Each structure stands twice: as C-alpha cells, then as structure tokens.
Amino acid sequence: MSSSEASSITFTLLKEITDDFSEEKMIGRGGFGEVYKAVLNNGDEIAVKKLFPIYDLDDTKFDNEFSNLMSVQHKNIVRLLRYCYETKRGHTFQKGKCYFSEETERALCFEYMQGGSLSQHISKNSCKYDWPTTYKIIEGTCEGLHYLHKGRGEQHYIYHLDLKPDNILLDENLVPKIGDFGLSRLFGESKTYEISKKKGTAGFMPPEYIDYGKVTPKNDVFSLGVVIFYMLAGKKGYGHYRDALLRQNYSDKFIIDGVQESWKKKMEAVMGYRWDETDILGVRKCTEIAISCVHNNRDNRPSTTMIIEKLKKLDARIKEMLKEDPKPPMPLGKLTDLENNVKRKNCHNEDLGKYIVVDPSVELCFPFEPKRDIPCCLQLINKSGSFVAFNINTDPNKCRAQPNRGILAPLSNCYIILTLQAQEKVPPKMTCHDKAIVQATRVSKGFTSDKITQDFLKKSSAVDVAELPIVYVTSPQGPSN
C-alpha cells in the first residue's frame, strides 16, 4: 500500500487491534500523541499514533495537515497507511439540565518499523554498527530531509523542527526513515518566520531558534548535524565538541582525526573487518559535514542540496577506489570468489559467481565468550556491472544478520554484521553446527530489497548459494564458565 492509497479506519477497529490502547501495545509517546503497535486483519503490522485531544484544532487545520502527510512519499520517510477522524456526540445531566458535548478521536497509522528508533542503535560513543552500515543510515537520513525541504516543490516544503534519533526509524534492513511530523508545518510564501512558542528538543535546536524563535530550513540542518555527530561520536563526543567550541581551543582537523581514530579502533576489533582508505574517506567527509551543519551562524550552514551534492561526490570517489582495488588489504589467497564455495541453481546465464566476492569465503569465525553477544563481519563485493540482490539466512534464535538482505549496485561492496546471541556456557569442545547461507542473483536497476523473498529466489533462473559454517574460536581473553 502506498501513501497515496491511505484509507480511513474506524476508531472501533483501532481499539480492537490495540487491545483498547493498552500499555502492553504502547511502543512510544511523543508531544502530540501515543504510539501503539497493531496488526491489521490482512497481517500488516502498523504503528498507530493516537493524537492527544487538540481542542482548538478545527476540521480545516486537520485536513491541511493530513493532506500534507498524504503527499509525502519517499523511501526515507515513514509511510502513512491509514487515518481515523471521528466525532461523536454525548450528553450528561447536571442539576436537572441536559448538556451536550462532542468528542473527537484522531489517529494516524504508519508503517511499522521493525528496527526501532535510531536512538536505540547509538551508544555513548557512536552508532553500534559497522562503518558502511552507519554511512548508509547517515546518507538515507540526509536524503529524507532533503526531500522534505526540496522534493515537493518550492511552495510545499516542510520543516521538521524536531529531527533527532528518536524520530528517525529503521526498517528490518536498517534503512532509515524520518517520522513524527507532529512539529512539522507547511509555511507560506516567506522563507523566514518567528514563532513565540518554541518547539523541539533541547540539544538539537540551533541558537537562533532558542534565542529569537527564528525558523528557516537551517534549523533542520543544525539538528541533522547533531544527529550525524551522535552517529559518529555519540552524545559524549558531541558534548566534547561543544565544550571545545565554547573554549575556542579546537581545530576541525583535531576533531576529524579523533573521530577517524575512534572508528578505526572500533572496526579493527570486529572479526573479519579490514579498515581501509574508503572507510577513512567516508568518516572524514561525514565529520566535515556534521561540523558545518552545527555552525552557530546559520548562514554558514550548508543547505540540504549542498549536503546531497557532497555525498554524491563521496559515493563517486569511493566507487572509483573500489573499482581500482576492492578492499586491497586481504591477501589474495584468502579472498575467494563465491563460485569456489557455491551451489548453483539453473545457472545458464553468465556465471554470476565469478563477479561476486564473499569474504570470508570458507567459514565464519566467532571469538566465543559466554554471556556476551559476539559480532563477526561478512563482506560481499560486486565486481560486475549489474545489480545483485543478496539474502542472508541464519537461525534467528541463535544468530542475526544486519542487514539480512539488500541490493548491491555495480562495483560496490556491503558489510553484513552477524551477531551470535549470548550463551550462558561454553559449548562442549567449542563446537557449533550452525551456518550462514548467502544467496545472490542478478536483478534489474530499480529492484528493491523488500521484493527479496524465498519465493522470489525459488523462481529466479540463476541463484548462487554459499554455505558458511559458523566456527567458535578462543577469544583473546579465553572462554570461561
């Protein structure tokens, strides 16, 4: 269902599928309403935002805001699926007199995001994921905000005014989508406004908004910069940056070098990951963007158009670097084509396995420690000029893969973080009988990851399948009971 097909839903049905808006079904609370998880009769999971009563909101205002939400359609914006707007009359008797009243119920139903909010994936030091995944989240968030500012025409731009990790949601493949437009407003002809009642979240609001109530697109750009900083260096790192800014005893290079070194140490600790020049370039450029976004003078902050242009140039440069040498640090004897460990089905097409590299290619080694989740990194490299869909199968009760499916563009790579669920005890003889299964097949440009299902793979004419056994190895600390 697309946003343009959003339809009405009765309040009675909403009460039914949320167990009368029970605490057990509640998954969030914002300034304008509470959010509940529910399942429609067709099996679709949705997030129901039950709006708080707004007594001074007339029908016209609600219709305008609803039309605003309906018109927003972008891969990095949470989709509106259903809506409820019902008014019922009631009456009460007081001191022998009958008093009539009206009660209005309003609710908006959005696609349910299985990955939760971005805030759940950020530690005090950085985003919890590997750098390529973190970069894709940064890039997707920037593209979503650019769409709100520019994607709907000059007269229909939207300012979010409360952009923060809590309002950026992730789907099952960690694709970011901007949500919660409770503070969004469509403005008229003027590009700058002054509002008396400040709305937003402390720490994410720019100084001109806090001091004077000024609203321009640069408000959201400032918030975006803070979000990127949180992903790069955590709340702690952003706090250090603001402190250094106040003391005026810092340089941009010092900040960028520090973020780069922190990410290098983080990724070198992940089994199977090799930090290289493409990662260094990505971290440094994103840190530069974050610093420019949080400039105290809004005139010195970039527009979303400028940010997207910088990211496109970065992507082009990384693509060139991968084309010249895809992840060079790995010894050639260990970097093996998928075809060396592959079972091919009906492969009458050009041999796909010759152009897809899986690394590691023989087995996945996890440094085992009891009572602790253990990550391991798997890299897929597309050396071909075609788009390739991939799917990662694991036992979800023992090992989760993020992302577990996706699309590899020509001459690109992708990292999958596999995480073993914590186990109480060391397994006998450190043995494991589980495995990860990698499936890959060529697809056309424009093919999306939500179409990668087992049914699709069964019907595909050529699918490469690589089985990678999971192996426990002794951690540097050594296993303990």
Please give the annotated binding residues for ATP, written as ranges.
50
Instruction: Assess whether 162 carries a catalytic annotation.
Output: yes
- Catalytic, out of 130, 162, 166, 337: 162
**How far, rounded to the nearest angstrom, does the alpha carbon of residue 159 sit from its chain's CA centroid?**
20
Q: How far apart are CA 360 and CA 415, in angstroms?
A: 11
Which residues are tagged catalytic? 162
